[in-house]
Structure 1
Amino acid sequence: MSYKLICLDLDGTLLTSQHTISEANLAVLRALEDQGIRIAIVSGRSGYDAKHHARTISNKTFYIGSNGAIVGNVATGEIIAETNISKGNLRKIVSYARETRIKPIVFTKNETIIHGPRDYFMHLYLNRKHKTKMNAYLRFVPSHRKMKCLIAHEDTGIQKVVFFITNKYKADQIEKELKAQDDFEVARTSLICFEVTEKGMNKSDGIRRLIEHLNIKKEEVMAFGDSENDYAMLSYVGYGVAMGNAPNRIKAVADKITDTNDQDGVANELKNIFSDISYSS
């Protein structure tokens, strides 16, 4: 099979444990783009964060953010597709957050809206740690009432809501309750992190909308991932690759298991698949 599009998760996949893209990965991806093969970042991170990392590869790279809710083209600035959470679902999510005393973090295509000073300063720390310059995109909302009012009147559209829950028992319980409602998509991306999007929105749907735009068949797509929110993506594409650091459930659905994100697993597998291309080191 001749693959025309390579889709890459960020954390735990393309990014190392130091939250950078290795020189080996960059060299291989740029060489493939020079040969006309499309590259797309496919992340649970916000659209502007996914776009930031896509631009690190080149201005020809595409991006899919917020677990499929936004699809964009770095070169043209075009938003190919986007799906916001409905007002009705937002009201349900915010009401549930208040009942369970968890603070939502809200993502539009342009900014991250933080509820609570602890979450605000945590995001400032994470942005510095991840070596991104996203602080300008943070907005602080001090109370639940103001967050509810903001959501009711937000014109730019909210694509994702995130909950961080540090108590494992509470996190397990909330996961069951959120998924039981069946009104929206819930992805548990780590032991403490839940990401909520509109029903039907996941990484595979983002890829579907991108390949329709590019006139590419799903059988002509490769994808790399390591986490629970990569399951649908790896199942959907023609060739799914799990990282060596992925959990067993993700490895089980993949067509191939490569090295870890700290061992240039992406570059190593791409060199194996595209063995006829010359790569600079």
Structure 2
Amino acid sequence: MSIKLIASDMDGTFLDANGNYNREQFEKILTELQKQEIHFVAASGNNMTRLNRMFAGFEKDVTFVAENGAHIVENGQTIIHHSLPKLQVQALLTYFSDKLLDYRVVISGINGAYRLKKSNFDFRPGFGMIEEKEYEVFISHIKPVDDFSQIIEQEAISKVTMMVFDAHEAIAQDFNQNFQGDLVAVGSGYGAVDFIQKGIHKAWGIEQLMERYGIQADQVMTFGDGGNDIEMLQMTPHSYAVDNAPEAVKAAAQHEIGHHKDNAVMEIIEELLLKM
């Protein structure tokens, strides 16, 4: 097996039940990967604000495919940022015009993330795989605004997110069936739905890196658990869905491994590649 790039989703895949990971173990793995000239890629729906906190101390050693592929960062520098067409963002907000508060809409741009001041983002017990303190830090970095019109006009928008908890699957299905535009809704964990441009996903971001590094699909290993991971699980024969993934995601992967809460991703990297 000649793997040259490992890409893993974060929440529900690489991270444990509290949104953390074993930093000491990861540092050892990262050092060995670098010796073997294997790139480690954090492929996430998260923005770089949270990913930089997540990998503090490793920012220049990890490559990031953030915002579901729209924002690619290498050595701490943005190399690609794909923005949504402004008319499509406006059409999306019009489609959900009476639900913007209830669905806790967040717009992510190149300069930050934004939410409506009147939306309730209080922590809810059982809010996915993240500790309350980390959630509060996460929310504190989302800037409250009176409305989104100025943001759409001035920002390069990466994606739009709705934190809708139990209703996320129905909302995504309805949107994908009825929205007349170039956007698609994908589940991104925590009961959230991300709205991204068709064709711009994690696999697209990884393909940009493959071209940059001169590697092929059979030299890529991917790990995931959510609907926004399906394309990158389908792109390589070395794809792994964690045990907690829905059946549709498992069907997209070539292999199934243990539960994310049991550190399955780092364990399989050690077992298959590093023999540590």
**Per the shorter chain, which TM-score range?**
0.7 to 0.9
**1:198 corresponds to:** 197
- Amino acid in the other structure paired with 2:3: Y
User: Within 5 Å, which residues of 2 pair with 1:145-224?
Assistant: 146-151=147-152, 153-155=153-155, 157-166=156-165, 168=167, 171-180=168-177, 181=179, 182-190=181-189, 192-224=191-223
Q: Deviations over 1:202-238 (max 9, x none)?
A: 1111111111122221211101111121111110124
Cα-Cα RMSD:
2.6
Rounded to whole Å, the distance in 2 between the matches of 1:56 and 1:117 is 35
**1:4 corresponds to:** 4
C-alpha deviation, 1:194, in angstroms? 0.9
Q: Count matched residues.
A: 267
Rounded to whole Å, the distance in 2 between the matches of 1:256 and 1:25 is 22
The change in CA–CA distance for 1:251 and 1:19 in structure 2 (over 3 A counts) is same
Rounded to whole Å, the distance in 1 between the matches of 2:162 and 2:111 is 19
Say if 2:50 is the partner of 1:13.
Answer: no
**1:63 corresponds to:** 64
| Maintained 8 Å contact 1:115/1:140 | yes
Q: Deviations over 1:228-265 (max 9, x none)?
A: 21111110124101112222222222222122122221
**1:261 corresponds to:** 260
Q: Deviations over 1:9-42 (max 9, x none)?
A: 1011111111111243443233222332110100
C-alpha deviation, 1:138, in angstroms? 2.3
Of 31-40 and 18-27, the range deviating more from structure 2: 18-27
Q: 3-state SS of the aligned residue for 1:232?
A: helix
Rounded to whole Å, the distance in 2 between the matches of 1:188 and 1:64 is 17
Taking structure 1 as the reference length, the TM-score comes to 0.84
Taking structure 2 as the reference length, the TM-score comes to 0.85
| Maintained 8 Å contact 1:20/1:130 | no
User: Within 5 Å, which residues of 2 pair with 1:1-281?
Assistant: 1-22=1-22, 23-57=24-58, 59-73=60-74, 75=75, 77-101=76-100, 102-122=103-123, 129-130=133-134, 134=138, 137-142=141-146, 146-151=147-152, 153-155=153-155, 157-166=156-165, 168=167, 171-180=168-177, 181=179, 182-190=181-189, 192-276=191-275, 279=276
| Maintained 8 Å contact 1:9/1:225 | yes
Rounded to whole Å, the distance in 2 between the matches of 1:159 and 1:54 is 21
Q: Deviations over 1:27-83 (max 9, x none)?
A: 32332223321101000111332344344545221001111111111x2x3212111
Unaligned runs of 5+ in 2: none
Of 158-167 and 79-88, the range deviating more from structure 2: 158-167
Q: 3-state SS of the aligned residue for 1:274?
A: helix
Rounded to whole Å, the distance in 1 between the matches of 2:71 and 2:54 is 15
| Maintained 8 Å contact 1:41/1:64 | yes
Rounded to whole Å, the distance in 1 between the matches of 2:166 and 2:4 is 43
The change in CA–CA distance for 1:172 and 1:20 in structure 2 (over 3 A counts) is closer
- Amino acid in the other structure paired with 1:271: E
- Amino acid in the other structure paired with 2:5: L
Unaligned runs of 5+ in 1: none
| Maintained 8 Å contact 1:120/1:140 | no
Rounded to whole Å, the distance in 2 between the matches of 1:131 and 1:122 is 7
